[in-house]
Every structure is written in C-alpha cells, then in structure tokens.
Amino acid sequence: MNSRIDPSRMGARELRDEIAAERLTAAAAAHACLARIAEREPVVGAWAHLDRDKVLAAARALDLTTRRGPLHGVPIGVKDLIDTADLPTEYGSPIYRGHRPSADAAAVALARAAGALVLGKTVTTEFATYHPGQTANPHDPARTPGGSSSGSAAAVADRMVPLAFGTQTAGSVIRPAAFCGIVGFKPSFGTIPRAGAKLLADSLDTIGVMARSVDDVALFSAVLSDRPEFDRPAALTAPIIGLCLTLPGAASPSDATLSLIEAAAQRAEARGATLRPLQLPAGLERLVEAHKTVMAYEAAGALAYERLVHHAALSPALAALLDEGAAIDAARYDAAREDATRIGATVAVAVAELDAVLAPAALDEAPLGLDATGDPVFCRPWTLLQLPCLTLPAGYGPHDMPIGAQLIAGPRCDARLLAIARFVEAALS
C-alpha cells in the first residue's frame, strides 16, 4: 500500500480492488474511516450508533477469511431506519430508544454476504419524515444536509464511509445527496428488498444507495438487487435526454439551479447527446398533491401503533402528518392512486421516447438552519410513479453549496439510467 494514500479518500471500487490485491487490509480501511469520523463527527453528527471495537474486530476477521464477495472489506453506513442485529435501530424516534432487532434487514444481510463491513448506523429523521436529527451539512454546518437520509449523505460526502444506504418515500435519497454533493440512486420501486426496513408508505418506500461516483452506486446496487447488468457500463454515443426544468404547480427552481442544469445539458450535448424538451402530460401537476395524499394515508396506517399508543412522543410535525392521514378516507386515497396510474401511463409514453429526463434534484442549495430538511417537490412525482432516479453533483451555487442534477428513466429502466448517469457524469467532469 502507498502510505501517502488515505483510504478514506478512496471510493468503494478502489478500496475493494486494493484489498483484493493485498495492498490494503480491511482493518486499515476501517481505521482510516474511523479516524475521519473521530475528526469530523463533532461537527457533522452523521452517526446514530458506532462501535469502534466491534468494527475493528469484524474488519480483522474479514482479513483472515477468503474473499467473500464483490464488497469484501468495503465499509458501509446503514441508515437507522434499517434493522441490524448487532447494533441498535431506533428509527430516529425516542419511542425505540435502545431497540435491538433480532435480525438484519434483507439488504444488510445481502451486503454482509458480499463482504461489506457495517461501520455503523447513520442518522435518520424521525421515521424518515420531516423532524430532523443532529446531522449538519459537511459543506456548511449551518445548513441542512437534507433528509431523511441525512446521516448517510453527510457521511459519504465527508469521506467517513464510501457507501451508505438511504431510503426514499418522497425525496429522501435524491435531495440529501444533492445538498451534500454526492451521487444518490433511488432504483425502481422494489428493486432492493425492503424486508427489515421500517415502513412509512408501503407503495412509495424504496431503498436506495449513496456514494461519491456513479460507478460505486452501480456496484452497490448491483450486489443488493442481484442485477449484474447495473454494473456493466454501456457504450453510449448519442443518448436522447429530455429537459424538465420546472414542474406545473410547483415553485420554480432558483436561477443558480436552472443555470447549472442547463449547463449540464449543454455539456452532455457537446459529448453527443440529443436534447429535447420533455412534453409533460396534462394533469402532471396533480401528482404532487396525489403523492402527499398517498404518503399521509399510508403513513397513518404504517405507524398506527406509534400514533395510537405513543402520540405524545411524536414530534408535532409527525403527529400532524399522521392525524391528517388518519382523516383521509379510503375513497380519497383510491382516487389519488387512480390519478397516479392514469397520469403515470401518459408519463411512461412521453419518457419512452427518451433515454432519460434531466431535471433539478431540489429547488436550490441546502437552506440555512437545521430545523427542516428542504422541499422534496422535485422528487414527489417520480417517487409516486415508482420510477428510477439518480442525482449527480452539477456544480455549486452562490453560497458555495452543491446543487444536484436529477436523472429519471422509464419504468424498470434502471440499467439504462445508470449508463446515462455515467455519460453525464463524464460530461460534467
């Protein structure tokens, strides 16, 4: 190993390859990540649970075994919404303080089977909703890292860990990844198994991944989904990319966001992409409200125990959301789902003529303050339609904070989306 190279600066693929070539040990990689955490955690606050001794023992055990899989020795962070048998899982709520699940979530078990080293549990907002945890944005601790996958995004961005799990019900992978300047991938609904993740909205919740490059999210998601095609780069020369700079009925993105998305489109075009304005179908503006209805109704059901038995322990924001959801009748919920199905069919037709859609990931840079996590409006329609989405760092805004470019593909076109993302990432670099 070159002693001048800090393993915390390496991506997952590079770490994996260095360990496989015996130029680096899993223990050395773990030491580097833990040292970075010791240095930066007092400022960033990305971790809910971390057991240094347990991590190092597990890393040394990996060094004594034969290579277990494509993530052998690679440290990962697990959002504290996803069960782990060897660490507490508290779902960002005092109701579950000290809770110890009896089993790993399916996605965690799959990662461990591939040789990944669970470094610890990253901070989530309360039950992956709006009430934030302790995490600050590593680029400016006075600003939010986004949510609900706050700790995962901040930890990856700050080089504490190369890979982390997130979950998305509205914009909880895409937005924090954009605010923290990393790559976030929300695959098609159900692509990564959800068993053992605390549900909030059954038709929306999706497990996603975060890293500092498209190659690394492709590697991680390929392992977790048993879809090796995700990690096979396709040779693209002239992809067709649709531009979607605004959403009907939503606030307009900032001038800085629009400028950077347009610049990203131009750079992709210079590499051979064909750009087309996305012809948005009539009624698309209703999807934002439909998403809110579906999310609130399903959350009231998923968190019925917490609402009915521990209402006083909920934050005011979550209590209000669950009470709102409980007041929605089944007919209104069904109508929102029918709206999504009908409008989604027309969106699928529009997107079928494109390889991907390029859009803002959020309205602007991460807002000042840690009492909120930003507006997910630019993610709600795509999450409701269960489409694969990915965000890339597009540049920096006027306050020197990252701004993300979001790519969206058609139903189950995840491998194509990852190929387009590699293409756009190369254009931006």
Q: What residues act catalytically?
A: 79, 148, 172
Do 181 and 146 touch, CB atoms closer than 8 A? no
* 375-412 exposure pattern, b = at least 16 Cβ within 10 A, e = fewer: bbbbbbbbbbbbbbbbbbbbbebeeebbbbbbbbbbbe
The residues with which 395 forms a beta bridge, in sequence order, are 403
Residue 84: φ, ψ to 5°: -135, 135
From residue 114, alpha-carbon distances to 12, 69, 70, 122, 125 in Å are 13, 4, 6, 20, 28
Do 8 and 160 touch, CB atoms closer than 8 A? yes
With vertex at residue 341, the alpha carbon angle to CA 337 and CA 345, rounded to the nearest 5 degrees, is 165
Report the run of H or E that residue 65 belongs to, with start and end: none
- The full length of the chain comes to 429
* CA distance linking residue 208 with residue 205, whole number of Å: 10
Do 210 and 153 touch, CB atoms closer than 8 A? yes
Q: Which two tokens stand for residue 144?
A: 């939010």
Q: What is the CA radius of gyration of the chain?
A: 20
Do 73 and 63 touch, CB atoms closer than 8 A? yes
How deeply is 47 buried, as exposed, middle or buried, from its count of CB atoms within 10 A (0-12, 13-18, 19+)? buried
Of the chain, the end-to-end C-alpha distance in Å amounts to: 27
Q: Which two tokens stand for residue 332?
A: 């209104």
Sheet holding 274-277, edge to edge: 47-50, 117-122, 75-79, 163-168, 206-211, 183-186, 389-396, 402-408, 356-360, 240-243, 274-277
* CA distance linking residue 361 with residue 176, whole number of Å: 9
